[in-house]
């Protein structure tokens, strides 16, 4: 077990390291001069040189790389080209905002998907099952930002039930950031993106649970339980469903990581100030330190999710050997 | 190779859901081919009425089946023009993805050892890569046109096919017919591409369908985030235009059709993939 753990951790660390390195050199070696946005070519050469020195761009590339790595170890992501303030100051809040949006909806969608998926596998061949499979596939095939736009169109503008976007109403931002997450106004803003996310994230666990259940139902012990006269409900939820939970449990962290990566579009539609929106905005402004930092944090969440999924698989399935 | 391909359609045709989705997909394909010819207006053509005024945000009517946009463009024509980039980008990406993925899987699985470790480590790294954010960053650096979009998607998406193919090659490698080929003096190259490759083709086809579905949605997402090819009208870019104009709330006929088109197309692709997968590979669970 210990070796398994060490190996997985090492792989995750290696993945992150390669990504950080790749990103760093991608920005500096690909065509287009990212510094042109802050250091205008129209400036006097002397002023240009001074600015370059201020951002550390006068150093050779490998030196810049080591300084970058060194700074990362103390969570120093550099200075934003746009606000000229340290990136680290803002990015933490953004990450919390993303997680607050993604985590609860994801977990809710997983529970819902598991229950409905199990029940529908039990009623396989019924009209309701066929309809739900079609609906879930169609939802999965729908661009989620478009779903969000329809939700805004209908619930916000037509019925006037929810705000159009953002995380709190303008002017209502509380004194301390943490207070925001406990305000009704915040929940009111969270409701619509939450629902859209649940609708979208429901499909995967639903389809997965359904197909796992279909193979579980064919097992002998289900037949045995039936012969013993165990009530159908009990067979469904105690015997069959429990034994079908493994793939669902182990994919959760990984899917969560993907959802964080995919949240760029949801956050854009709802103007939700999370990591994804920050990244999209920063790319638009050529604010490369912010792009790098937000990408890095999204990558940490994705890689962390995959790592957790691997570990959970090892923990939950005793048939796995820890090699 | 061709036989496997034709076999795909006959297998899909066997199931009810497969039949319907094959028909829907064929309709979409013919739209992509014929759409631009059938479209009453050009993709960015502005429509004026008899008095010479721009027809802005006109609701659906006999003249404009799906109404017009803020800039007076005919939505129905845009939809017809938009089918082609969605499918071209999707199909090329899917094809490239699978070509890379299958080759990585074949080499890793067959050669084993250091090659395998290296390629699989690489695959793992790509599996951890946040898909959409990475593509946006890449596009912002390389510039945005159809080809960079296709290449950017290909650069990441091969990862899942590579894994599945490798796992299959690992078991194929130990079979008798490979040993037989080796005793007759076949080279590694021959064994990989003549003996093993045909056997992983079904996996490649499943990979193509899921990659196609992903690529179409991703292309739309890229377009929506404003990183699409500015010179091409695609379903994603129509949604982006409607969103960016802030007029979509006054003109639902502008936003609703492209989303529905994407949904129908991708759903049909998913169902085709599943209908095929259920027959050729009943073991593997549908991977979304």
Could you report the per-residue pLDDT of B30-67, keeping only the tens digit for each? 988 888 888 888 888 887 877 777 778 778 888 777 88
| Residue whose C-alpha is closest to residue B129's, from A300, A279, A55 | A300
* pLDDT cut 70: percent of chain B above it: 97
* CATH number for the domain whose boundaries are B74-285: 1.10.3720.10
Q: What share of chain A is helix, strand, coil (3-state, %, to 5)?
A: 75, 0, 25
Is there a contact between A268 and B225 if contact means CB atoms under 8 Å apart? yes
Task: Give bridge partners of residue B54 from the DSSP assignment.
Answer: B48
Is residue B283 pLDDT above 60, yes or no? no
Is there a contact between A306 and B128 if contact means CB atoms under 8 Å apart? yes
pLDDT at B286: 41
Compute the average pLDDT of residues B102-111.
Answer: 94
Measure the CA–CA gap between A30 and A32, rounded to whole angstroms. Answer: 7
Instruction: Report CA-CA distances (Å) from A127 to A103, A132, A210, A217.
Output: 32, 9, 15, 19
pLDDT at A158: 82
Is there a contact between A146 and B258 if contact means CB atoms under 8 Å apart? yes
| Residue whose C-alpha is closest to residue B141's, from A22, A177, A75, A87 | A22
pLDDT at B284: 46
Average predicted confidence (pLDDT) for chain B: 87
Instruction: Report CA-CA distances (Å) from B209 to A211, B83, B95, B202.
Output: 19, 17, 9, 11
Chain B nearest C-alpha distance from A258 (Å): 7
Measure the CA–CA gap between A14 and B117, rounded to whole angstroms. Answer: 13
Is there a contact between A149 and B221 if contact means CB atoms under 8 Å apart? no
Which residue in A129, A139, A141 has the most chain B C-beta atoms within 10 A of its own C-beta, making it the best mutation to test that interface?
A141
pLDDT in tens, A264-321: 999 999 989 999 999 998 888 878 888 889 999 999 988 888 888 888 877 777 776 5
Token pair of B173, please?
Answer: 């490698």
Which residue in B28, B126, B128, B266 has the most chain A C-beta atoms within 10 A of its own C-beta, making it the best mutation to test that interface?
B128
Higher model confidence: residue B243 or residue B5? B243
Whether the CB of B127 is below 8 Å from some CB of chain A: the reply is yes
Whether the CB of B157 is below 8 Å from some CB of chain A: the reply is no
pLDDT at A172: 66
Q: Tell me whether residue B248 is exposed, middle or buried, using C-beta atoms within 10 angstroms of its C-beta: 0 to 12, 13 to 18, 19 or more.
A: buried
Is there a contact between B125 and A14 if contact means CB atoms under 8 Å apart? yes
Fold category of A92-316 in CATH: MetI-like fold (1.10.3720)
- The domain segmentation of chain A, as residue ranges, is 1-74, 92-316
Compute the average pLDDT of residues B98-123.
Answer: 93
Out of B133, B221, B286, closest to residue A145 by CB? B221
- The domain segmentation of chain B, as residue ranges, is 74-285
pLDDT in tens, B253-279: 888 999 999 999 999 999 999 888 888
N-to-C CA span, chain A? 8
pLDDT in tens, B114-156: 999 999 999 988 988 899 999 998 888 888 889 999 999 999 9
Compute the average pLDDT of residues B222-249.
Answer: 87
Measure the CA–CA gap between B285 and B288, rounded to whole angstroms. Answer: 9
pLDDT at B214: 93
What pTM did the predictor assign? 0.89
Whether the CB of B254 is below 8 Å from some CB of chain A: the reply is no
Measure the CA–CA gap between B274 and B287, rounded to whole angstroms. Answer: 10
Instruction: Report CA-CA distances (Å) from B215 to B157, B201, B265.
Output: 9, 20, 12
Q: Across chain B, how many H-helices and E-strands are there?
A: 11, 0
Whether the CB of B213 is below 8 Å from some CB of chain A: the reply is yes
pLDDT at B94: 95
Is there a contact between A150 and B256 if contact means CB atoms under 8 Å apart? yes
Place of tokens 């930002």: A145
Indicate the pLDDT class of residue B287, thresholds 50, 70 and 90.
very low
Out of B142, B239, B248, closest to residue A30 by CB? B142
Which chain A residues have a beta carbon less than 8 Å from that of B263?
A: 138, 141-143
Which chain B residues have a beta carbon less than 8 Å from that of A286?
A: 140
Token pair of B156, please?
Answer: 């990441």
Instruction: Report CA-CA distances (Å) from A204 to A22, A42, A111, A317, B125.
Output: 31, 53, 11, 21, 23
pLDDT at B26: 92
Higher model confidence: residue B251 or residue A42? B251
Out of A15, A269, A284, closest to residue B128 by CB? A15
Token pair of A142, please?
Answer: 């729908």
Is there a contact between A143 and B259 if contact means CB atoms under 8 Å apart? yes
| Residue whose C-alpha is closest to residue B219's, from B114, B143, B135, B277 | B135
pLDDT at A34: 60
- The tens-digit pLDDT sequence of chain A (323 residues) is 778 888 888 988 999 999 989 888 887 776 656 666 666 777 777 877 777 777 777 778 888 888 888 888 878 888 787 777 888 888 888 888 999 999 999 999 999 999 999 999 888 888 898 899 999 999 999 999 999 999 988 888 888 888 887 777 776 666 667 777 777 778 888 889 999 999 999 999 999 999 888 888 888 888 888 889 888 888 888 888 888 888 888 888 888 888 888 889 999 999 899 999 999 988 888 788 888 899 999 999 888 888 888 888 777 777 765 54
Nearest CA in chain B to A300: B128
User: How many Cβ atoms are within 10 Å of A75's Cβ, its own excluded?
Assistant: 12
Chain B nearest C-alpha distance from A307 (Å): 9
Is there a contact between B125 and A18 if contact means CB atoms under 8 Å apart? yes
Which residue in B137, B210, B248 has the most chain A C-beta atoms within 10 A of its own C-beta, making it the best mutation to test that interface?
B137
| Residue whose C-alpha is closest to residue A118's, from A248, A249, A246, A237 | A237
Out of A147, A261, A286, closest to residue B130 by CB? A261
pLDDT at B11: 87
């Amino acid at each position: 077990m210990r070796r398994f753990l060490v190996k997985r951790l090492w792989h995750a660390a290696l993945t992150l390291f390669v990504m950080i390195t790749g990103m760093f050199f991608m920005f500096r070696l690909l065509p287009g001069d990212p510094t042109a946005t802050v250091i205008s070519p129209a400036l006097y050469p002397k002023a240009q040189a001074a600015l370059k020195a201020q951002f550390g761009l006068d150093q050779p590339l490998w030196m810049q790389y080591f300084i970058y790595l060194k700074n990362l170890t103390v969570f120093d992501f550099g200075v934003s080209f746009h606000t000229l303030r340290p990136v680290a100051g803002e990015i933490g809040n953004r990450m919390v905002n993303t997680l607050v949006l993604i985590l609860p909806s994801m977990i809710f969608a997983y529970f819902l998907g598991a229950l409905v998926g199990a029940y529908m596998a039990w009623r396989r061949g019924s009209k309701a099952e066929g309809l739900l499979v079609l609906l879930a596939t169609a939802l999965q095939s729908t661009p989620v930002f478009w779903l969000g736009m329809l939700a805004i169109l209908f619930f916000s503008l037509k019925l006037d039930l929810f705000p159009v976007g953002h995380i709190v109403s303008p002017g209502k931002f509380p004194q301390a950031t943490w207070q925001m997450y406990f305000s009704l106004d915040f929940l009111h803003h969270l409701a619509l993106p939450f629902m859209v996310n649940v609708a979208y994230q429901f499909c995967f666990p639903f389809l997965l649970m359904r197909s796992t259940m279909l193979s579980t139902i064919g097992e002998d012990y289900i037949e045995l339980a039936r012969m013993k006269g165990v009530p159908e409900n009990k067979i469904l939820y105690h015997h069959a469903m429990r034994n079908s939970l493994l793939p669902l449990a182990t994919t959760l962290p990984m899917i969560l990581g993907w959802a964080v990566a995919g949240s760029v579009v949801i956050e854009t539609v709802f103007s939700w100030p999370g990591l994804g929106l920050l990244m999209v905005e920063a790319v638009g402004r050529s604010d490369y330190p912010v792009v790098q930092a937000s990408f890095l944090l999204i990558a940490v969440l994705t890689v962390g999710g995959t790592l957790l999924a691997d570990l959970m698989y090892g923990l939950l399935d005793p048939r796995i050997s820890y090699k | 190779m061709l036989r496997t391909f034709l076999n795909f359609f006959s297998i899909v045709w066997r199931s009810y859901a497969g039949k319907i989705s094959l028909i829907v997909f064929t309709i979409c394909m013919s739209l992509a081919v014929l759409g631009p010819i059938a479209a009453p207006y050009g993709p960015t053509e502005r429509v004026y009425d008899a008095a010479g005024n721009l027809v802005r945000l006109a609701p659906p009517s006999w003249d404009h089946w799906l109404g017009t946009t803020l800039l007076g463009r005919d939505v129905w024509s845009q939809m017809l023009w938009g089918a082609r980039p969605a499918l071209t980008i999707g199909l090329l990406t899917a094809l490239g993805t699978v070509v890379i993925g299958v080759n990585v899987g074949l080499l890793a699985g067959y050669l084993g050892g250091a090659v395998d470790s290296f390629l699989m480590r690489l695959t793992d790294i790509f599996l951890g890569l946040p898909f959409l954010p990475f593509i946006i960053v890449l596009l912002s650096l390389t510039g945005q046109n159809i080809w960079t979009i296709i290449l950017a998607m290909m650069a990441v998406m091969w990862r899942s096919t590579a894994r599945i193919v490798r796992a299959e090659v690992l078991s194929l490698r130990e079979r008798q017919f490979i040993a037989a080929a080796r005793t007759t003096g076949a080279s590694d190259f021959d064994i990989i591409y003549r003996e093993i490759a045909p056997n992983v083709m079904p996996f490649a086809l499943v990979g193509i369908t899921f990659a196609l579905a992903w690529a179409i949605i991703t292309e739309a997402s890229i377009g929506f985030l404003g990183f699409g090819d500015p010179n091409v009208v695609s379903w994603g870019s129509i949604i982006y235009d409607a969103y960016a104009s802030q007029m979509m709330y006054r003109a639902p006929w502008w936003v609703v059709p492209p989303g529905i088109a994407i949904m129908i197309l991708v759903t049909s692709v998913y169902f085709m993939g599943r209908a095929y997968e259920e027959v050729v590979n009943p073991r593997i669970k549908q991977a979304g």
